[in-house]
Structure 1
């Protein structure tokens, strides 16, 4: 519960007393319990969450001013944001906006992602993290969909570079996310292949042919057919748990057979437009 509250209120000042009340712990014990479950202090956790949100805004929301980003992420002004950003990431926000170094970003942010992933189950049990994720699977007939696709081939920690290129292509050529569905085709489990062999496509549905471009965006087709669909609400870290459930629990229990096409996902809501725990993603498992 307290983690969800923090994610939803990064633009506000939060005190230990306020957070301990939300977590239903005495303020004298809250800090120790938080560190025991999350592996870092609540102050550092909030700092990293804010820097993560700032990074996404800088990289993918170019229309937002640095001041707007600062205020929206809980900083007093643009100067205080710039000082902390450079102190932690080693570059100014303007430099990161012009050329995001996602490999460096992962070095700083990965501890946050790793501790959240490893602690998720235990946090749920103690009610510190509200996650009402249910595994309700539906069978649908997916309609053949032509997509513009940008192929990412290589280390998973550089996927955001590919995403950034695709967003720029989309801004210049359309279609807008408001009128076009956003998909990712997941060829590999990043935990099961060497980084250099990882494959991932960033896609958007299209109605007209793709013009020649310098971004290497090409046309692909997500074929029609039956799919098992699981609606995932929550962080992208826990998305892997839902995919694992589809493959290793639901598929075995259902006696369904997989089709010869990779698992793919449809992005319904996006971070940082919504807090991470409100991200909605539909997972599609092609079956015969």
Structure 2
């Protein structure tokens, strides 16, 4: 007698396989933003039918392939402009896959409501406004995902369980060290949606059980937010829950394999309430980085921690490293 998995298990496995294939496409697009994207080649990357791929992509992502690629190119360009490196706008346009400065300027203004030059010029003012909001608590209720509950009724916290708001929980004080980190092979599961309490739930409900089933509980973990929520719409933000794995590890159907690149990073040790880590990220990128003589490069930022020890059950505090890839100005 053949044992057939229950229907819900088959559905979960099917969705996981779709997610793995789509993640390969999203990663491929990010790695080739400066080049024309060929629909047939992307279908092959995903191992989907070339004839149906565009429709499958649009249904899965909620936007067409062309719209997605255009948005990612513009968001990447916006982040580069805001760094203040003085890189020529035309160079950023070409590196983002636009054939001319004029085409880039038109698309940028349509997306962000201003010219690339104005966006760059206004970057310090936007940063100052964010810091002012942190210090005044003015953005305390700006996040629709904020959990409203009495302190003694609060649910347990999990890694990454911060709501992304700018409510200030004390002044940010962290020591930052510049260090070289090795590349790390990781298995990851990806969530697309707001950076908020859903991230903690994703670790608890999806990643942690998968790690336990593969005897990975003691391995270093990494939370990779691929998008800047001040640029990318919350429902489009991508987050990877990652765990370090050996070279011969096979992830099975529910996870994918990637490599976090090594190199020079600014590493800051964070310890505090999970709600405050968003403020720490903002302080590092908006206040520390501009005065450090360094600039962020195109490698992903991430949080590094151990699942078994990152949460203090007595205080509810989270401990981990915030890692920002840097190079000299």
TM-score bucket (shorter structure): 0.5 to 0.7
Q: 1:118 maps to what in 2? A: 167
Q: How does 1:99-248 map to 2 (within 5 A)?
A: 118=167, 120=169, 124=170, 134-157=173-196, 158-163=198-203, 164-176=205-217, 178=218, 180-215=219-254, 217-248=255-286
Are residues 1:267 and 2:308 paired? Answer: no
Q: TM-score, normalised by structure 2?
A: 0.47
Give how far 1:259 is off.
Answer: 2.0
Compared CA separation, residues 274 and 188, structure 1 to 2 (3 A) = farther
Q: TM-score, normalised by structure 1?
A: 0.53
Aligned mate of 1:257, from 281, 286, 295: 295
> Deviation digits for residues 26-83 of structure 1, max 9, x if unmatched?
xxxxxxxxxxxx99xxxx733323xx12xx59xx9xxxxxxxxxxxxxxxxxxxxxxx
Answer yes or no: is the 8 Å Cα contact 1:210–1:219 preserved in 2: no
Give how far 1:218 is off.
Answer: 0.8
Give how far 1:201 is off.
Answer: 0.6
Q: Which runs of 4+ in 1 moved over 6 A?
A: none
User: Match of 1:214, SS?
Assistant: coil
Give distance in 2, aligned partners of 1:223 and 1:119. Answer: 32
Q: Which runs of 5+ in 1 are unaligned?
A: 1-37, 61-105, 125-130
Give how far 1:191 is off.
Answer: 4.9
Aligned length: 176
Give distance in 2, aligned partners of 1:205 and 1:267. Answer: 11
Q: 2:32 maps to what in 1? A: none
Answer yes or no: is the 8 Å Cα contact 2:185–2:260 preserved in 1: yes
Q: 1:48 maps to what in 2? A: 153
User: Match of 1:156, SS?
Assistant: coil
Answer yes or no: is the 8 Å Cα contact 2:251–2:257 preserved in 1: no
Compared CA separation, residues 150 and 262, structure 1 to 2 (3 A) = same
Give distance in 1, aligned partners of 2:182 and 2:223. Answer: 16
Are residues 1:276 and 2:325 paired? Answer: no
Give distance in 2, aligned partners of 1:285 and 1:251. Answer: 9
How much is the aligned-residue C-alpha RMSD, in angstroms?
3.1
Which structure shows the bigger proportion of residues in helix conformation?
Answer: 1
User: Match of 2:241, SS?
Assistant: strand
